[in-house]
Amino acid sequence: MARIDVLLPQWGMGMSEGAIVEWLKKVGDHVDEDEPLAEVEAEKVEETLESPATGTLVEILVKEGASVEVRTVLAVIETE
The confidence score (pLDDT) of residue 78 equals 98
Q: Which of 54, 57, 52, 56 has its CA nearest to residue 71?
A: 52
66-76: per-residue pLDDT in tens?
Answer: 999 999 999 99
The confidence score (pLDDT) of residue 45 equals 86
Mean pLDDT value across residues 19-38: 98
Asked if 7 contacts 20 with a C-beta cutoff of 8 angstroms, the reply is no
Domains of the chain: 2-79 (2.40.50.100)
What pLDDT band is residue 43 in, cutting at 50, 70 and 90? Answer: confident
Residue 13 backbone zone (phi > 0: left; psi -120 to 50: alpha; other: beta)? alpha
Mean pLDDT value across residues 6-33: 93
